[in-house]
Structure 1
C-alpha cells in the first residue's frame, strides 16, 4: 500500500473498451474537475486495472498518485493518515498536512487513490466529513469499491463536487475483442462472449483454462456459478499437486505470508511455497505478503469446503494459531494487519458484518450538531419515560460530542447513539444517571487495570423502532466498531443497557456480552446492563477468542502471557524458563499434533544442537509441574514425543478482572 509502484493493475492487455471511462477519470485532473470521484463496480469487473492505467497515464502528464489498498489500511483516522504518509514517504498527522505535498507538486495535481474502499466502511464518515473538506486545492480523492457510495457523499459535501463512475460489464464487441486478443478464434470467441457476462476476470480465467479443452461447453449460468466452474478448471490445470494444495490453503487466509505457510504446511519449505504461489497470475504481490484475487479466493474456498471440510477447517485452525502467536508480539503499527487476518478467518456473519458490511449503507451516522437538539428531544419523548429522557438530555447538555446521529437519504434524523469513554465523563453526571452510576459501581467492584479504559454505550434509539433491532440499531453498531478500533489497545470493557434484552440475547452471547448481576430501575422498568470484557489484549484478543470459538480452539492468551513468558492463573503468575517457554509455545502452536523430540530440539535448542534428546523430557517435566492440575494437556506420544491438547486447559482457572 506504499505507493503507486505497488498498485495492482492487472495485465495491460486486459483493458479493452474502457475509453469512455478513462476520459471520465481524466476530468479529475482538470482545474475545474471534481474533488472526489467514486468508481463503483462488482468484483472482477476491472476497477483496479482501470485505476492503474489511469494513474500511469496521469503520471506521464506530471500528476502524482498515492495509492492505498483499503484492505491494508486500519479503518481509523490515525491508520489512514499513517498509510497515506507511508505512501508519500512523509509524516501526516492531520488532513491539512496534505497541503505541503500539493505545494511540492506546484501546479501538477495530487491524486489519492483508495482501492477496495468497501473495506473502509468504518471510516466512511471521517473520509467524507473530515478528509474531503480539508483537501487542499490541487488534491483529488479517487475511490473504488463494490458498493455505490452512501447518500452523504452525493448530497452533503458543500462546495466539493463528487462524481460517480459506475463500471458495468464490457459490451459484446469489447468482450469479443478481448477474447480474440487472448487467442480465441472468432467463432469460439463469439460463443464465449455471450456466456461470460462481460466480466474481465471471467474472460481471463476462460483464457487460462479453455484453450486446452476445445470440446468443453461453458454453461449458461450466473456469474458466481460461472466463476466457480472456471476456478475448478484453473485448479485442475495446475500439474504440481503441491501448488494445488498451497492454492487451496491460500484461499482461507486474507494474505499469504511465509510464517502462515510454514504453520499451515509444516515440513514444506515456506520459501519454496511462497515462490511457487508468486508465479500464479491471479496472485498479487504486496509489500507485506501475497493476495489471491478475492473472487477466485471465494470460489476456491467454497469448493474446498464442499469437497473436504476437514481440510478446510484444518487450514483455518493452523492459520489462527500462527496469527495469534504473531499478533501477541507485534507492535502497534502492525497490529491491524493481524486483526484483519483474524477477522477474515471468522465466518460468523454477526461478526463479519459488524466490521465489513456487505451492503451499501442506506443511513449515514455522523457526529450530532447543535441543530439536532429538537430531533433528539422528539426521539426521547417517543421512547423514554421522564427519568430516562432527563438522564439522556443531561448528557446532551454536558457532552454533546458523545452523541452520534443517524440520518436518512435526505438528512433527517432517524435516531441517535450516546457513547463515551468513562474516564472523560464528569463524575457528577455519572453519579446522577442511575445507569452509569450502576456501571461505576461495577467498575469499583472490578477495577480496570492501569492504562485500560471502558466504553459506556449509554443508549441507542431509533425514531420508529426505539432500542429494537432495525436499520438504526445496525448503523449505530457499525459506528461503535470504529470506537472499538480507535480506543484499542487500551479498550478493556464496553457497557450497554437495554429495557428488553431478549431480542439481542443470541447476538450478545455470540459476541461475549455478560449481564451484570443487578438490573437498574428507570421509570419503573427494570433495565438490564451487560458488559463485554475484551480481555488484556483488547479488541484484538477478543476477535482472536471469537475465531477460536468458531474453530473449536481455545485462545491461549487467556492463560499464557507470551510477552512476559509466564503462565497466567487465577491467583498467580508462574514464570517459565526460556526452554520451558519455547517447548510449551511450540507444542501449543501445533495443537493436537504429535511433535517429535527431534523437532522440538531443532525448534527450541537450534538446528546445530548436538546434545541428547532426553533434554526435552526434562524440560517437559518442568512445564508439567508448573501447569499443576492441568499437566495432562501435554500428552506423551510413545515412540514419538509429545502432543498438546487445548481441551485440557480449563478456562475457569485463567486470570479474570
Structure 2
C-alpha cells in the first residue's frame, strides 16, 4: 500500500499532557517535549501575533489570553513557537483538551498529572504551580472541546490564578460572553488568528518546495490558510499544469484533498483514509477492528506520516479541515459504507470501554460520542459555534430578576414553590444572561439527597418525585437529579436560546455527577415540543406522577441512565442510532421480561426484583447475601436457596437467553447480555 508523502511538512505533534521547565534554558527531553520539533516555516507571517503573546511575559501584562481561529489556521504551531521562546524564563503546562473529560475534576486531574504533583484541590494545585518557576504558563489547546467547562474556566479557574501564572486558551471560537463579562484586573488578551497575507503565503509555498513563479500564481487562491498551503505544496509540485479552483476555502480544501487522495493508487490506502475520517481518533486496535485484512501497525504508521495527521495523547487524528470533506464525500458517495465504519468502530470501542479504568473512560466515551449524529448530544460535546449566552450560578442580586420571571410565567402555587426553593436552596439556581448582564432566564436543579426532607415535601412536584423514588429506589450509592424548572424571560419553558443554554449546562452537571448519577426527573406543562427529543434521549413520561398546579398539568418525565451512568447512557444513544441497540430486557412498568423474539413473560415480585437488580448492575458479580438484603430486605447472612430458586425460575422464563444470568462460583450471579453481532469489513 503506497501512501502520499508526508511527515516533515506536517503540523507540530506531541502528547496532550506535558510540561516543559525552561527557566534554566533547558527544555525537557523525550517524546513529551514537542516544542523542540517545531520548525520555523510553520510560523511564517505570525510576527505580530507573537509580539502580542509576549505581553503575557510582562509582570503587568494580561493574565489570560484567547487565541482563536478556524481549523488549520496554525494556532497550535504559533503557541508552541511562543512557548519555545518563553522557556527562557517560564515553565509551561500544556493540556490538549480533546482527550480530557470536560469537568473541573478532569481539568485539575490532568493539570496535576502534567505537573507531576499530588496537590489536591484547585487552590493547592495553583499554589504548587506558582512555586515551580518565576513565571508559569497554563496552555489549554483545542479548548472548544471544553464548551461544557467554559463557565468554570472563566469564573473559577481564571480568577484564582496567582500573580505569576498565565492562562492561554486556544480554540476555534471567539471567546464566549462569559469572558467579556468576567471580572479581571487586566482584560484578557483577545487574539484572533487571521489568514496569512498573500506575500507570506507565497514565502511559505516556496519554503515548502514550490517554484517561485508557481507559488506566486496559486497563493492568492489558498485564502492564506496554512494547512491548505501545505496540501497545495505537496499536491501541485507534481502537477505543474493544474489550475487550482478560485473558490471558497472549503471548495479549495475539497479539491486539494481529492488531489492528495489521487496519489493513493490502491484501494487499501483510500479505505484507510475513509475509516480514519469517520472516527474521532485512530488507534492500532481500532484499525484492526475496521480493517482486519490489513496489518494494523504498518497502517497506523502510514497514517502517522501524512501531512495532515495530528498525533494525540493516545492515537492519531486526521486534521479536521481534511477529515470533514473526506467524511462528507464518503457519506454522500457510499452512505452504507459510512454507516458500517461507524458501526464497526462503535463495537470495538464498546469492548474497550467495558474493561477500561474509570480515569481513562472519558476517552472511549468521547470516541463513541463522535459517532453520534443526534444534534442535541453532538452540539453539547462537539460544538459547531461559540456560546452566545452566559450560564452561571445565581447570586443574591439576581433575586429580583428571578422573581420577575417566575411571576410572569407561573401561577400562585408554582411561584410559591419556586420562591421557597430560592430561599432554602439558592445554590440550586443557575441564571442565563446576555453579554450586557441582563438575566434572560434560569433553571433550578439539585440532588434530593442533599436537601431537607421538609423542603421536598412542601413542593407538590418534588413530593411526587420522592414518592416515585420510594416505590422504585435507586441502588445503594447512586444519585438522582431533580430538574425542578427552567424558564426563559420571553419564552417561559418553551424551546429557545435560554432553554438550549440551560440544557447544555445540565450536560456539565451530568458529567460532574457521574458515575453515581443514575436518574433524572424533570417537569414541563407542555410535553409536545419536547416529546420527540426526549424520547430519543431516553426520557419516559410518568403519567401517575404528574401534578396539577394553578389549573395546569405539570407532567413528569424521568431518564434512567442504567448501570453505566452517563457513559452507559451515551453509549446506548450511539448504539441505537447505529442500529446496534439491544432491546431492553425488562419492561419495568409492566413488570415483564422482554425476550429477543418480542415475546413477553410476566414476573413474580421477587423475580422482577432480582432481575432488575442484576440488569441495573450489568457485568457486576452480585452476591446472594446482597440480593437477600436489597431485594428481600433480609439481613440473613447464611446460605439460602431462596435466591437460587428465583434465578432458576427466571432462567426458565428466559429460555434460550437463560445464559445472560451467569453463575459466579462462590459469589452469586451476574447479568451479561449478548451484544448484537455485526459482520466486520473485508476487502
Compute the TM-score of the two structures, normalised by the length of structure 1: 0.84
The 8 Å contact of residues 92 and 137 in structure 2, kept in 1 or not, is answered as yes
Structure 1 residues 572 and 273: CA distance shift in structure 2, 3 A: farther
Deviation string 1:185-208 (CA, Å, 9 cap, x unpaired) is 233212211111110010011111
Specify the alignment match of 2:17 in structure 1. Answer: 2
The 8 Å contact of residues 133 and 160 in structure 1, kept in 2 or not, is answered as no
1:232-271 equivalences in 2 (<5 Å):
232-239=258-265, 241-271=267-297
Q: Does 1:127 align with 2:157?
A: no
Paired residue secondary structure (2:311): strand
1:637-652 equivalences in 2 (<5 Å):
646=676
Q: Distance in 2 between matches of 1:322 and 1:556?
A: 20
CA shift at 1:166, angstroms?
Answer: 0.8
CA shift at 1:533, angstroms?
Answer: 1.0
Paired residue secondary structure (2:255): helix
The 8 Å contact of residues 520 and 526 in structure 1, kept in 2 or not, is answered as yes
Q: Does 1:189 align with 2:219?
A: no
Specify the alignment match of 1:549 in structure 2. Answer: 576
The 8 Å contact of residues 227 and 308 in structure 2, kept in 1 or not, is answered as no
Structure 1 residues 555 and 294: CA distance shift in structure 2, 3 A: farther
Give the aligned length: 581
Q: Tell me which stretches of 4 or more aligned residues in structure 1 moved more than 4 Å.
A: 6-11, 555-559, 567-574, 624-627, 630-633
Q: Which moved more, 1:254-263 or 1:241-250?
A: 241-250
Paired residue secondary structure (1:414): strand
CA shift at 1:156, angstroms?
Answer: 1.7
Q: Distance in 2 between matches of 1:130 and 1:29?
A: 22
The 8 Å contact of residues 418 and 459 in structure 1, kept in 2 or not, is answered as yes
Specify the alignment match of 1:458 in structure 2. Answer: 484
Structure 1 residues 558 and 540: CA distance shift in structure 2, 3 A: farther
Specify the alignment match of 1:522 in structure 2. Answer: 549
Paired residue secondary structure (1:361): coil
Q: Does 1:37 align with 2:65?
A: yes
Structure 1 residues 385 and 330: CA distance shift in structure 2, 3 A: same
Q: Does 1:202 align with 2:228?
A: yes
Specify the alignment match of 1:414 in structure 2. Answer: 440
Structure 1 residues 161 and 7: CA distance shift in structure 2, 3 A: farther
CA shift at 1:284, angstroms?
Answer: 2.1
CA shift at 1:341, angstroms?
Answer: 0.6
The 8 Å contact of residues 82 and 92 in structure 1, kept in 2 or not, is answered as no
Specify the alignment match of 1:153 in structure 2. Answer: 179
Q: Does 1:85 align with 2:112?
A: yes
Paired residue secondary structure (2:306): coil
Deviation string 1:79-135 (CA, Å, 9 cap, x unpaired) is 000111111111343222222222221x2x100111111111100111111111111
Q: Distance in 2 between matches of 1:438 and 1:645?
A: 36
The 8 Å contact of residues 544 and 555 in structure 1, kept in 2 or not, is answered as no
Q: Distance in 2 between matches of 1:487 and 1:15?
A: 42
Compute the TM-score of the two structures, normalised by the length of structure 2: 0.81
Structure 1 residues 558 and 53: CA distance shift in structure 2, 3 A: farther
The 8 Å contact of residues 37 and 165 in structure 1, kept in 2 or not, is answered as yes
Paired residue secondary structure (1:359): coil
1:303-342 equivalences in 2 (<5 Å):
303-342=329-368
Pick one of 74, 81, 88 that aligns with 1:53. Answer: 81
Q: Does 1:355 align with 2:381?
A: yes
Paired residue secondary structure (1:441): helix
Structure 1 residues 247 and 114: CA distance shift in structure 2, 3 A: same
Q: Distance in 2 between matches of 1:441 and 1:6?
A: 57
The 8 Å contact of residues 231 and 307 in structure 2, kept in 1 or not, is answered as no
1:380-419 equivalences in 2 (<5 Å):
380-419=406-445
CA shift at 1:361, angstroms?
Answer: 1.4
Structure 1 residues 572 and 391: CA distance shift in structure 2, 3 A: closer
Paired residue secondary structure (2:221): coil
Q: For the aligned residues, what is the CA RMSD?
A: 2.5
CA shift at 1:11, angstroms?
Answer: 5.1
Q: Does 1:73 align with 2:100?
A: yes
Q: Distance in 2 between matches of 1:37 and 1:63?
A: 16
The 8 Å contact of residues 405 and 413 in structure 1, kept in 2 or not, is answered as yes
Q: Distance in 2 between matches of 1:53 and 1:418?
A: 45
Q: Distance in 2 between matches of 1:276 and 1:355?
A: 29
Specify the alignment match of 1:438 in structure 2. Answer: 464
